[in-house]
A and B are shown apart, each in its own frame.
Chain A
Amino acid sequence: MPGLEDLYREIILDHYRSPRNRGELPPPAAHAVGHNPLCGDEIEVYLDVQDGVVHDIKVGGQGCSISQSSASMMSQAVKGKTIDEVRALVHRFKSMMSIEELDDADPSVEVKLGDLEALQGVVKFPVRIKCAVLSWNTLTEALEQAGA
């Protein structure tokens, strides 16, 4: 079995202890809520999209270290990005979680994950993939709501 140090990397614990971009945004910001029905984790994403760019993002909810740190890193990674860049990042992240396919010809291969690379170890703990992906699915829903 892979060791816990593969899962609980320091940067993950740092985001867990001090989550970035916590809070809410008032309407008309888009707002989506995601649940992990298995464990009760909950993520809320508030998204302010202006001129095709994620102008601001806030994250709420509660859950385990993996779901919360993933949400925190996600919020950092998408802020200021264009919708196309965000969609490419979602795709890139989900392929790292081995739930979407990515081949060498896919332009998303080029997308930089930065801190998010730390979540790579989650793949070795398949039951936790859902935790890591929860905020990303919620982000996708918020994007739809924003009409982006």
Chain B
Amino acid sequence: MALDVAAIRAEFPILAREIDGHPLVYLDSANTSQKPRAVIDAMVRCMEHSYAPINRSAYRLAAEATDAYEAARTAAKRFVNAPKAHELVFTKNATEALNLVATSWGRANLHRGDVVVLTQMEHHANIVPWHMLATEIGIELRWVPLTPDGQLDLASLPALLDGAKAFSFTAMSNVLGTITPVAELCRAAHDAGAIAIVDGCQYVPHNVTDVQAWDADFLAFSSHKLCGPSGIGVLWGREALLDAMPPFLGGGNMIADVRLDGFTTAELPAKFEAGTPPIIEAVGFGAAIEFLEGIGMTEIRRHEMQVAEYALRTLTERFGDDITIHGPTNVEQRGATFSFAFRGIHPHDLSQVLDQRNVCVRAGHHCAKPLMRILGAAATARASFYLYNDESEVDVLADTLDGASDIFGF
């Protein structure tokens, strides 16, 4: 069944906002998504009704808060089909989750000369932590190259993976929109004796995610890109791997015992959740997952494929060679995130002109500078669509783009 986009939009208070008489055309969900009433209400209710510390106190209110926090973990487990709830660690965001893997798993398992394979389409969050390890212990990084249409070029994968200890890759590019063949990549990693780390930050908000079907070892994602609040993310990892890793941050909650001469760590997931966690954010995150589940990830993906198809067709029909859209043209292989170049107008100027009509797009390098260098662009404009966007917003984008050339005289 097609999504009732009007009904969905009505759930997002911010989408009713107008600036200078123009309705909000929010095409920056790949950056961060808007929040539905259900999430806002859940967080307010938590603060008004049941806020208390978790895991520490005997009174009923604290038990209620702990239950709410753990319910979010259960929701996240269900959302990505993880085997066990305690395999999900709450972090600040996907960035912290990837840093956790690189630091804790990396320091314990990698030695000078060991190889970690990444792809050329990674976000800085899945590059810099590995560069830091390379500086620290001298690991070697290898990069899976791209095809001209912005997919992973897998021809050289077996050679790149030969002798590697880890393969860390995105399930969907935040620049190109490309969806990668995650299960195939996990299999290739395992065949080479490497673990498979999946950056699900862009994929998880838009698709059905099943870490068991993928046979992945780690998965990182953020709440704020899937209609939840900022300030919380997830690292899922296989129990055996997490158990064998040293802790990441030290402090309260992550210990079993502390003495003057040392400490022992708590069980999973507390072992990796030092300090007071984002309690209210967890409640909002859980509500966001339930909200998306209520609509259905299969339906959301189908809707976004439709919008993506319409966007590709409309923009290429209207602008022909004046527009370059990066990434795959087949919507089976991509999400509804489009980086583009338009008539030689700098992305910064484009987004300024679009903002005049309250059309919000990202302009810049999208935290993927190695990829931008490969594309030969210092910056691109990026329009990204989510469940609350529809075809009419593609038309507004196209109309407003057309007006931009008047100003710059191209």
Q: A65 to B349: give the CA distance in the assembly, Å.
A: 7
Q: For the complex, is B343 an interface residue (Cβ under 8 Å from A)?
A: no
Q: Which A residues touch B353, using CB under 8 A?
A: 4
**A39 and B407 form a contact (CB under 8 A):** no
Tell me the chain B residues, 357-409 only, with Cβ under 8 Å from chain A: 363-365, 369, 372, 378-379, 407-409
> Which of A1, A62, A125 is in CB contact (< 8 Å) with B20?
A1
**B348 and A39 form a contact (CB under 8 A):** yes
Tell me the chain A residues, 32-87 only, with Cβ under 8 Å from chain B: 38-42, 62-67
**A39 and B365 form a contact (CB under 8 A):** yes
Q: For the complex, is B7 an interface residue (Cβ under 8 Å from A)?
A: no
**A64 and B365 form a contact (CB under 8 A):** no
Among B20, B352, B369, B407: residue with most chain A CB under 10 A: B352
Q: How large is the interface on B (under 10, 10 to 19, 20 to 34, 35 or more residues)?
A: 10 to 19
Q: For the complex, is A116 an interface residue (Cβ under 8 Å from B)?
A: no
A side interface size, CB within 8 A? 21
**B352 and A40 form a contact (CB under 8 A):** no
**B408 and A65 form a contact (CB under 8 A):** yes
Q: Which B residues touch A13, using CB under 8 A?
A: 407-409
Q: For the complex, is A89 an interface residue (Cβ under 8 Å from B)?
A: no
Closest chain B CB from A95 CB (angstroms): 23
Closest chain A CB from B371 CB (angstroms): 12
Closest chain A CB from B326 CB (angstroms): 15
A/B interface sample: 21 pairs, CB < 8 A: A4-B353, A4-B356, A8-B407, A13-B408, A17-B409, A38-B364, A39-B347, A39-B348, A39-B364, A40-B369, A40-B378, A40-B379, A41-B379, A63-B346, A63-B348, A65-B348, A65-B349, A67-B348, A125-B352, A128-B348, A128-B352
Q: Which A residues touch B356, using CB under 8 A?
A: 1, 3-4
Q: For the complex, is B19 an interface residue (Cβ under 8 Å from A)?
A: yes
Check A41/B348 contact, CB under 8 A, given A8-B407, A62-B378, A65-B408. Answer: yes
Among A4, A17, A63, A64: residue with most chain B CB under 10 A: A64
User: Please, which residue of chain B has its CB at the minimum distance from the CB of A5?
Assistant: B407
**Chain B 115-136 against A: per-residue CB contact (8 Å), 1 yes, 0 no?**
0000000000000000000000
**A40 and B407 form a contact (CB under 8 A):** no
Tell me the chain B residues, 336-358 only, with Cβ under 8 Å from chain A: 346-349, 352-353, 356
Tell me the chain A residues, 1-43 only, with Cβ under 8 Å from chain B: 1, 3-4, 7-8, 13, 17, 38-42
Q: For the complex, is A131 an interface residue (Cβ under 8 Å from B)?
A: yes
Q: A63 to B365: give the CA distance in the assembly, Å.
A: 12
Tell me the chain A residues, 94-148 only, with Cβ under 8 Å from chain B: 125, 128, 131
> Which of B19, B372, B409 is in CB contact (< 8 Å) with A40?
B372
Q: Which B residues touch A40, using CB under 8 A?
A: 364-365, 369, 372, 378-379
**A66 and B348 form a contact (CB under 8 A):** yes
6 residue pairs, one from A and one from B, having the closest CB atoms? A64-B348, A64-B346, A40-B378, A40-B365, A40-B379, A39-B364
**A63 and B378 form a contact (CB under 8 A):** yes
Closest chain B CB from A135 CB (angstroms): 15
Q: Which A residues touch B407, using CB under 8 A?
A: 4, 8, 13
Among B19, B356, B378, B408: residue with most chain A CB under 10 A: B378
Q: A33 to B188: give the CA distance in the assembly, Å.
A: 42
Among B349, B369, B407: residue with most chain A CB under 10 A: B349
User: Please, which residue of chain B has its CB at the minimum distance from the CB of A61?
Assistant: B378
